[in-house]
Structure 1
Amino acid sequence: MTTLRQRLTRALDARARGNTALGPYHVTVDRDLRVPMDDGVELLGDLYRPLGADPALPTVVIRGPYGRRGIIGGAARALAYEGFPVFFQSSRGTWGSGGRFTPQIDEQRDGIATHRWVRRQPWFTGRLATFGESYMGYTQWAVAGKMCREDPDIAPEALILQITMPDFGEITWDNGAFALRNALGWSNLMDRMGRGPRGLITIPFADRQLHKAFDVLPLSAGDTAAVGHPIHWYQDWVRHERLTDEYWTRQSHTESVSDVTAPVLMVTGWYDIFTPWQLRTYRRLVEAGNPPRLTIGPWGHLSRGKAGPAHRDSVAFLKEVFAGTPSGRAAPVRAYQTGARQWHDLEVWPPAGSAARDWLLHTGGGLATAAGPAGVTRYTYDPADPTPAVGGPSLTPQTLPMDNAAHERRPDVAVFRSEPFGAPLDIAGEPLAAIRIRSSAPSFDVFVRLTDVHPDGRSVTVCDGIRRIGSIGSAATDPPPDDDGFRVVEVALWPAFHRFAAGHRIGVQVSSGAHPRYARNPGTGEPADTAATIRAARQEISHEGPHASHIILPVWTP
């Protein structure tokens, strides 16, 4: 007999998944089980047990730093309703677990110790899968490749990786630019969590103090401005600009992705903060001979629309892998095409039929496949009035495409547009911009955004990307200037699967910032953690010669 509270919890869990019908099992919870780590620290976890479930189904392990109950615990409960025992553990130094929380650093050793412990428990079903999104996906990457390679008998036998990646350094310093809104916003959230429920009274990403802190220089003062004291990992992040520093390499698990031999399901969205890297890890697994199931929807990191499809895909995947129940999936990849607003079943991503096509940026704002008149486009970037971010992937709910029409009237944004199309144009893959640019400042950013320009004048985001030049972190990969001081800066844009409808136009923006999504470039080339002096930059985009500025679009013919 279920209690009123249990029925209410189930109803809320179903509602959080778009009113998805959840499984039939009643669930009991064993709270605060203690798991000893190799250094003697004990981590706490909760065991969700479905009553009367098929014992052949796997035990699912979830590990993360965001707590285990309430909304966060909903993922564990939802799987348990379907018949899967779930062990949900809090990372070191969070929510009652012992030790000190240092993001990423301890997840591999703690995860491996937890896997060994779970397999020794009397409630273990004999098979083990891992599950989770965002940081709870990173904890899966931390152990999977190493265990598959070195200890395959106790390695996870399936992984469900949602909106995540195996190397958080790459997103923190995105092509040399510091992802300020996410890094400081997340640090603010975790600091508040560490202070208990009282610290979460205000919504951390809507905190006025946080928004003021985004404008503070140097970057190393941002955490104190936001929460009143330094946050030790945030200080580490701003101090280590080079992704080759041992600080970052010891927490990167990208190289072990190809060692994962267990079946994998990936779920992501076109507007998620991890999408480029998640699709690159997908590609690594494909090339290693272990192609994952992949779902890509019209979602951001916190989109509510993702929860229902992700839950259904996860349950079907686990039952197919462990019970032999056909999932009913038509193809390994299921991807939503924006613009066309339709789903496609594909054998692989990017799909067959994609071919690169150059579109040249013309003097005067044109965009075409043929060369235009020679010349340059000029604008000035002033870090005292930094070019603002308009939408874009973030850890806030507001990540869906936005209209850029007003933004494109700013004098520090160069805009280029094609003629209207007589027939639809589809792209599928990762666009690449090659901007031939010269700057008066020692260090500058190149931010490129692709838009869909509607007949009514709206210029709606499709995808974008950034690259920093002249910084400590970018020095090893900066393209050299030519005799005229121009550099050809290649900027990889977010992956996209989009249709430009008939009558629409392609739009391309080039600017030098998107603050506070990315920290403004002070322009001096000084270390990011201490740079407080700012310098305006006069930028010139070249439209002439064999390396004239252009964008390469992956045009898809279905």
Structure 2
Amino acid sequence: MLNRIIARVTDRFLGLPLAEGPAPEVVKGLRIPMPDGVHLIADRYVPAGMRSGPVVLIRTPYGRGMPIGKLLGETFARHGLQVVVQSVRGTFGSEGEFRPFHTEREDGLATAEWLRAQPWCDGRLGTAGPSYLGHTQWAIGPYLDPPLEAMCLAVTSSEFATMFYPGGGFATDNLVSWTATIARQEERFAGLPNPRQQRRTRQAMAHLPMSGADVASVGRQVQFLQDVAAHAEPGDDYWAICDHTDQVAGLTVPVTMSTGWYDLFIRRQLLDFRLLQDAGRGPRITVGPWAHSDLGGIRALMQDQISFLTAQFSGNHTELHRAPVRIFLQQAGSWLDFDHWPPPATATPMHLRPVGGLGEAVTGTAAPTPFTYDPADPTPAVGGPLLTGETKQKDNSAVEARDDVLVFTGEPLAAELDVIGDVSATVHVRTELGDADVYVRLCDVDTAGVSRNVTDGILRLRPGVPAADEDGIVRVEVELDPTAYRFRRGHRLRVQVAGGAFPRFARNHGTGEPVTSAVAGKPNRFEVFHDETRPSQVVLPIFTP
């Protein structure tokens, strides 16, 4: 009786139809053999009365009985989907060593072959799940023959290295956070809140050298962090094994996606969608006002994936008749439907002006604006697309008051301004040291003067890359995350330019030393140019209904 009550409460919370009938059967501890003799452990969730049918494969490093695995398995099965939840190699009873991203293709393909040979599987397979569970889908989706019936991809992308090394830097906050999670997740009580461990992990983000952040956080080396730190330099193809970008356009599997504007994979997932869309594959996507693990995003992915899988397996696509693109327009409180991403918009440059101005026109000639970035006191990060901690929009006032942050602010808007699509920046900069980071953030300043972040991006400069002109000035092209955002009447647009955002991105020591071993650093003087010859600007996709 208690389980039935919990199931009904769960369905209501997730916005799903209340499942009727007997509870699903759970068959635990399936041992699935891999070609190298290792066995991976899985649990099978069977809808009441089903003898044989299609299977939804969910491969997770986070534990079959832990919240995400159990939620997906039980809820999907309650709604008529047979599910196999498998612990990936080296996690939660599965044999072998867990080397994230490096064995998921071989293990996933072997698992699919085994499932199709079982009498309770009719040969049809679909995949589901968010984040790393999405990576395990991309690891097999383009390569499986016969192909999958469906792929359900939430807060994920076809390649992860961009998330490890955004703009050529190092994603300290996200990588150290995830390292601590996977290192401790099988310890007793690991699923409970642990403020002491959270503080220790955040303090470890400042540890120098970066290769010691794992020991500082959890008391021992974790191979994943050692790998990402050791392979952070340009030209290293260590992570090529988890890059499936070249396979996206050729994917013939029906695909549904969901993500949020403050998810760390938003840029790459929308690129995946565009590649599928441009190839005529007919994907669909939902983008809401969420960060990576928001409850609203979890509700959306459950509704999206259950409806999509049910339709693909049953052949009844009636419920799939919706616009391919459904996005939430932030600060407007409304959902918009489009046939394509991005929707038609007018690319409008907003130029950085002398004395902190911002506007569509370039202002004559002006001396560059200087600031100094000091790795001993790195410019702090505030909010944004983080895996844990203070995510999404935050008050940027304290950061904008610092001497190492340039602020360019526009006039109050005479009317609402909708920005929907890809945002980019061009900054003409000269740095004292060849090794430097250029960080650009777009903010929304309300009528009370509070500045809140909307989107941002970073690019790491190295000596000669990009090349400087005869005056030592570099034209820096920074890609910001895409967004859908309404700037309200009376609000002002603001652009920040800085030399970093720590610990979201690793500090730039200015020495060229690899991130894995760098300890000492040098202050770096920047000059940002904003005149007719070198017009620094942010380009906004202005949407007009």
Q: For the superposition of Structure 1 and Structure 2, which TM-score range results when normalised by the shorter chain? A: over 0.9
1:214-233 equivalences under 5 Å are 214-233=205-224
Distance 1:156 1:448 in 2: 41
Contact 2:419 2:485 in 1 (8 A): yes
Task: Give yes or no for the alignment of 1:43 onto 2:52.
Answer: no
Other structure's SS at 2:246 match: coil
Contact 2:429 2:527 in 1 (8 A): yes
Unmatched 5+ stretches in structure 1: none
The Cα shift of 1:74 comes to 0.4
Unmatched 5+ stretches in structure 2: none
Contact 2:12 2:18 in 1 (8 A): no
Instruction: Determine the structure 1 residue equivalent to 2:88.
Output: 91
Other structure's SS at 1:108 match: helix
The Cα shift of 1:460 comes to 1.4
One-letter amino acid of the structure 1 residue matched with residue 530 of structure 2: H
Contact 1:243 1:249 in 2 (8 A): no
Task: Give yes or no for the alignment of 1:549 onto 2:516.
Answer: no
Task: Give yes or no for the alignment of 1:334 onto 2:331.
Answer: no
Distance 1:99 1:205 in 2: 31
The Cα shift of 1:22 comes to 4.0
Distance 1:144 1:243 in 2: 28
With the length of structure 1 as denominator, give the TM-score of the two structures.
Answer: 0.93
Task: Give yes or no for the alignment of 1:110 onto 2:104.
Answer: no
Instruction: Determine the structure 2 residue equivalent to 1:383.
Output: 375
Which shows bigger deviation, 301-310 or 268-277? 301-310
Other structure's SS at 1:207 match: helix
Instruction: Determine the structure 2 residue equivalent to 1:425.
Output: 417
Other structure's SS at 1:494 match: strand
Residues 487-540 of structure 1 show CA distances to partners (whole Å, capped at 9, x for unaligned) of: 011110011011111111111111111111111111111111111111111111
Instruction: Determine the structure 2 residue equivalent to 1:62.
Output: 58
Instruction: Determine the structure 2 residue equivalent to 1:411.
Output: 403
Contact 1:53 1:84 in 2 (8 A): no
Q: Percent identity?
A: 41
Distance 1:308 1:533 in 2: 46
Task: Give yes or no for the alignment of 1:317 onto 2:303.
Answer: no
Contact 1:16 1:304 in 2 (8 A): no
Contact 2:324 2:340 in 1 (8 A): yes
Instruction: Determine the structure 2 residue equivalent to 1:520.
Output: 507
The Cα shift of 1:198 comes to 4.7
Q: 1:97 and 1:16, CA in 2 relative to 1: closer, same or farther beyond 3 A? A: farther
The Cα shift of 1:252 comes to 1.3
Distance 1:413 1:137 in 2: 37
Instruction: Determine the structure 2 residue equivalent to 1:284.
Output: 275
Task: Give yes or no for the alignment of 1:246 onto 2:242.
Answer: no
Residues 245-296 of structure 1 show CA distances to partners (whole Å, capped at 9, x for unaligned) of: 2311122111111221011000000000100000001111112221311000
Instruction: Determine the structure 2 residue equivalent to 1:458.
Output: 450
Residues 120-145 of structure 1 show CA distances to partners (whole Å, capped at 9, x for unaligned) of: 11111432110010000000001111
Instruction: Determine the structure 2 residue equivalent to 1:145.
Output: 142
Residues 422-449 of structure 1 show CA distances to partners (whole Å, capped at 9, x for unaligned) of: 1111111111010001111231111111
Which shows bigger deviation, 198-207 or 265-274? 198-207
Distance 1:329 1:197 in 2: 46
Contact 2:41 2:87 in 1 (8 A): yes
Instruction: Determine the structure 2 residue equivalent to 1:445.
Output: 437
Other structure's SS at 1:60 match: strand
Q: 1:465 and 1:206, CA in 2 relative to 1: closer, same or farther beyond 3 A? A: farther
Other structure's SS at 1:94 match: coil
Task: Give yes or no for the alignment of 1:538 onto 2:525.
Answer: yes
The Cα shift of 1:316 comes to 2.0
Distance 1:382 1:12 in 2: 52
Distance 2:141 2:259 in 1: 19
The Cα shift of 1:557 comes to 1.5
Other structure's SS at 2:318 match: coil
Distance 2:266 2:317 in 1: 29
Distance 1:10 1:41 in 2: 35
What number of residue pairs does the alignment pair up? 541
One-letter amino acid of the structure 2 residue matched with residue 269 of structure 1: G
Among 339, 344, 347, the alignment partner of 1:347 is 339
Task: Give yes or no for the alignment of 1:167 onto 2:163.
Answer: no
Distance 1:132 1:501 in 2: 36
The Cα shift of 1:319 comes to 2.6
